[in-house]
Amino acid sequence: MGAPLEDIVVIDLSRALAGPHAAMMLGDMGARVIKVESPGHGDDTRGWGPPFVGPEDDPVSTYFLSCNRNKESITLDLKSDDGREVLARLVRHGDVLVENFRPGVLDRLGFSVERLHELNPRLVILSISGFGHDGPEGGRAGYDQIAQGEGGLMSLTGSGPDDPQRVGVPIGDLLAGMYGAYGVAAALHERNTTGRGRVVRTSLLAAIVGVHAFQGTRYTVAGEVPTAQGNHHPSIAPYGLFTCKDGKVQISCGSEGLWVRLATAFGIDPTTPGLTTNRERVANRDKVIELLDAAFAPYPLTDLLAKLAEVGVPAGEVRTLDRVYEWEQTRSQGLVLDVDHPVLGSIQIPGPPIRLDDNAFAGGRSDHQHPPLLGEHNESVRAWLDEQDRDAPS
């Protein structure tokens, strides 16, 4: 079986992270992704660093490498007649267009939704904005950290209510890209029936609010305003980060049976008043933490993890990224890819998080391609367009 999207052509007009991540996800599943970049400097992330790697006169941003695998690059000046003409040809022969301009920018370039669908009624358009395409603040520029704050995520993250923290990756951008790719897949499926493409819209704000999960219903249903409380779950105890002899251990005790096993194994009476039920333990979380930190204190991390596994309590350590990427379990899941880069040679980059069937490679393809050099495919894409124009019905 081939890759699920191998017959799909994606025109990636986006830059930075949300749109490029969505387009990369489609590319991982086999789509041909043609990334349109500005001549001279290209995607903003080509200049984001350090770190940069490679020769001093031709540095490569590792940020760019993270979100542009399985793509081709063509440079077009969309303010020029040639640039607009080539983009129009790409639209005619494409299936999906991804853009994350501020609302109205693409219209001013002459490529409104109406114009795009005149060129290709079957085109699926993914449009990602910062705060939505309409509403009283629909025109605001969107940047991940600002959206994390405005969307409430930072109020839930940190050591306490007075210590708001951003998530350690641009989670709003990444989630918007994921939601966008999910919407594109649905729109492509619908197109099989209707014969027409539609516009899929999402935003950094929508993506962040969309993952509030139980914290959202704490407010909308129960009327509680959640706040940050560090590394312990607000609704389950014990569930969080604890201290042992030489490090930290995380445990997830999500049922009463697990609590009984955990407490018994470490000399704690599970029926102690105030600790018998999850509701009681949440109310007395500080006491639970104090008891478990004391019980874990004599154990080196390795021994503690072994004992928790023997008891059947889910547990884990906190790995630094070097240890994550060197971990055999990570590599067994296809989450590290070997690719050949024209400037850097053989490199390893993070891989896609989905595997199909028993494919040893992650994603829908086994021939993952290096993130492209700026304009690397100018000639080949234009040659492909010439072929498509010749073969198109007159």
Integer angstrom CA distances of residue 187 from 13, 26, 95, 123, 184: 19, 13, 11, 10, 5
CB 67 within 8 A of CB 21: yes
Angle between helices 18-28 and 171-194 (to 10 degrees): 50
DSSP letters along 269-293, please? -TT-TT-SSHHHHHHTHHHHHHHHH
In the annotation, is 163 catalytic? Answer: no
User: What's the gap between Cα 117 and its chain centre?
Assistant: 29
Please identify which of the residues 57, 173, 338, 391 carries the catalytic annotation.
173
Cross-sheet strand order for the sheet of 9-12 = 72-75, 32-37, 9-12, 96-99, 124-129, 199-203
Measure the CA–CA gap between 78 and 75, rounded to whole angstroms: 9
Listed in sequence order, the residues at least 6 apart from 110 whose beta carbon sits closer than 8 Å to its beta carbon are 84
Token pair for 266: 């470490």
Half-sphere exposure of residue 322: CA atoms within 13 angstroms, side-chain side: 0
Q: Is 37 exposed, middle or buried (0-12, 13-18, 19+ CB in 10 A)?
A: buried
**Omega before 50 cis (within 30°)?**
yes
Strands (E), the chain: 9-12, 32-37, 52-53, 60-61, 72-75, 96-99, 124-129, 199-203, 239-244, 247-252, 315-316, 336-341, 345-350
DSSP label of 240 = E
Give bridge partners of residue 61 from the DSSP assignment.
Answer: 52
Measure the CA–CA gap between 209 and 203, rounded to whole angstroms: 10
Catalytic annotation, residues: 173
